Amino acid sequence: MTTVISVTNQKGGVGKTTSAVNLAYYLAKSGKKTLLIDFDPQGNASSGLGINKQQLETGTMSDVLLETKVLQEVILETKHKNLFIAPATPHLANTEVELAKASRRFTRLKNAIANTAGYDIVIIDNPPSLSLLTVNGLIACRYVLLPVQAEFYALEGLGQLLETMKLVRKNMNPTLDLVGVLPTMVDGRTTLSGQVHEEIKKHFPGKVFKTVIPRNIRLAEAPSHGVPIGVYDRFSKGARAYKTVAKELLERIAE
Ligand code: ATP
Ligand code: MG
């Protein structure tokens, strides 16, 4: 069986892509055949894994949504064992507009994944919006993983996401569940960061991962080398944190 996890937060720059790429890497490393779906027109997950977006003859997630290709056709192997990626380019933004009035527009990603066998885990890196793409992501998944940046406005806007999740659960995807809230860019030296962490825990009792992701420059550097943190600097604080969170994530989805 395939477990599908959407990394979602409509706020920009909170660590969605960094979490999607690095968790996918560690899940793959632990032996799970893992597919990372880049579902953001920014294509950051693709470039973060060293995919050259100029040379994508095999196709992208745009082709999958428009149903000119099936998902399996656009999936690329990465340099890392067990880790595969379905890439995206800026064209995905146009695709979203094209889909606006199409039939079955909300369930295209769900159907694409359902027709693709062989993966233990699928991670979807969603864009920073509550758009048609994100709704496709929410309908296609069993779990939402919610990265929250440990800053003053962290919780603002999350009510809207939880509301959208409720609607999706009610209408399309009754088993949709929050697998965990992941505090990111936590700066242990500031009291604000600690306070926000406490706030997040109060807001999501029992849902916050035990391990948090520290602010760590190595995590920000790795994508420019086109590799996950586990390859770029596996002894960095950021690498150790994502490795531990991947383990905790596996425990949570096994429950
Ligand atoms: P978007 O909403 O635009 O898709 P995002 O939520 O996917 O953004 P990222 O791209 O993962 O966020 O991170 C935003 C920026 O912060 C990037 O430059 C990334 O390298 C950096 N970053 C992410 N996590 C950390 C961290 N723990 N420590 C330091 N820098 C980080
Ligand atoms: Mg992103």
- pLDDT truncated to tens, each residue of the chain (255 aa)? 899 999 999 999 999 999 999 999 999 999 999 999 999 999 999 999 999 877 788 899 999 999 999 999 999 999 999 999 999 999 999 999 999 989 999 999 999 999 999 999 999 999 999 999 999 999 999 999 999 998 877 788 888 999 999 999 999 999 999 999 999 999 877 877 788 888 899 989 999 999 999 999 999 999 999 999 999 999 999 999 999 999 999 999 997
pLDDT attached to residue 90: 95
- Looking from the CA of residue 217, the nearest atom of ligand 1 is 29
pLDDT attached to residue 191: 79
Ligand 1, atom 2, lies closest to the CA of 12
CA angle, 197 then 143 then 165, to 5° = 80
Cα(198) to ligand 1 centroid in Å equals 21
Residues framing ligand 1 (Cβ under 6 A): 12-18, 40, 42, 44, 128, 184-185, 213, 215-216, 219-220, 223, 238
Cα(27) to ligand 2 centroid in Å equals 19
Cα(69) to ligand 1 centroid in Å equals 30
> What's the maximum distance between 2 C-alpha atoms anywhere in the chain?
51
pLDDT attached to residue 56: 83
Cα distance from N-terminal residue to C-terminal residue, the chain: 14
The residue whose CB lies within 8 Å of the most ligand 1 atoms, and thus the one to mutate among 14, 17, 23, 187, is 17
Number of the ligand closest to the Cα of 188:
1
pLDDT attached to residue 157: 82
Ligand 2 ion local residues (Cβ < 5 A): 16-17, 44
With tokens 């002894």, the residue in question is 235
- Looking from the CA of residue 185, the nearest atom of ligand 1 is 27
Ligand 1, atom 13, lies closest to the CA of 15
* Angle (deg, nearest 10), helices 132-140 and 91-99: 80
pLDDT attached to residue 18: 98
DSSP-derived pairing of the beta strands 143-149 and 177-184: parallel
pLDDT attached to residue 111: 98
Q: How many helices (H) and strands (E) does the chain have?
A: 12, 7
Encoded tokens for 182: 């992941």
- Looking from the CA of residue 12, the nearest atom of ligand 1 is 2
DSSP 159: H
DSSP-derived pairing of the beta strands 177-184 and 76-77: unpaired
User: For residue 123, which of 227, 221, 63, 33 has the smallest C-alpha distance?
Assistant: 33
User: C-alpha 17: how far from its chain's center?
Assistant: 6
Encoded tokens for 65: 């949504």
pLDDT attached to residue 55: 76
Provide the 3-class DSSP secondary structure of residue 198: helix
Provide the 3-class DSSP secondary structure of residue 177: strand
Ligand 1, atom 28, lies closest to the CA of 215
Cα(46) to ligand 1 centroid in Å equals 14
pLDDT attached to residue 10: 94
Which H helix or E strand runs over 238?
Answer: helix 237-254
pTM for the model stands at 0.97
Cα(101) to ligand 1 centroid in Å equals 32
Which H helix or E strand runs over 34?
Answer: strand 34-38
Handedness of CA 155, 157, 161, 167 (dihedral sign): positive
Q: Name the region of 145 (left: φ>0; alpha: ψ -120 to 50; beta: rest).
A: beta
Number of the ligand closest to the Cα of 14:
1
